[in-house]
Amino acid sequence: MAPLILAAVAVATPTRAERVVSAPAPVLDAAPTRKLETAVFAGGCYWGVEGVFSHVKGIKLAVAGFAGGPRNQRVDYARVSGGDTGYAEAVRVTYDPKQVSYGTLMRIFFSVVADPTLLNRQGPDRGTQYRSALFPLNGEQERAARAYLAQLGKSGPWRDPIVTKVERFTGFQDADRYHQDFLRKNPRHPYILRWDAPKLAAFKSMYPSLYRAQPSA
């Protein structure tokens, strides 16, 4: 993800976008542990990840931020963009497990948001800060995440090896307000039009029963 001027450059860059695929339903899902659950996903630029998840029925809150680095290190967009902090752009979602499961969120994620075969990149963005990763917050999520990645490696629609990792959760730091709800607030932004609006459109088309027009907070 590149801000403002750099975004226009990224739009013009001849690079492969994530393919829209029909990821399989997970064989093993995570059993709910509380009334509202939280999950953290990293899948490239957090504008698109947050933009898609905010339209999923059952999602109460979607927040752009950073995960995956040292617990005691404070970061922001500028620091993470250097690619040497260990942090990845990520999104924290709060969801109602009676309406949508962790497994379904993973299925949506790999169908329209992130290509699990791309190492340290998504769309036009390069660097470890744009890696795809799952950050389980409890044992149920970890079991489901590891099982699903193994399932995708055996029966998924991708020809290349799955490189998305399950990573230890060390905390989540919110991104600046400028980056929150970016897709909704900036629908005509060049980067959004080229890379993220198609993801949202694909989600609406592939999973109409899970799509809601009004995004979460």
The C-alpha atoms of residue 34 and residue 102 are separated, in whole angstroms, by: 13
The three-state secondary structure class of 181 is coil
SS3 of the chain: helix, strand, coil, percent, to 5: 35, 20, 45
The three-state secondary structure class of 99 is coil
In the set 1, 30, 42, 45, the catalytic residue is: 45
Structural contact between residues 147 and 134, judged by C-beta atoms closer than 8 angstroms: no
- Classify residue 211 as exposed, middle or buried by CB count within 10 Å of its CB (0-12, 13-18, 19+): middle
Examine the residue annotation and report whether 45 is marked as an active-site residue of this protein.
yes
Give the torsion sign (CA, 77, 78, 81, 82): negative
Which residues are marked as active site?
45
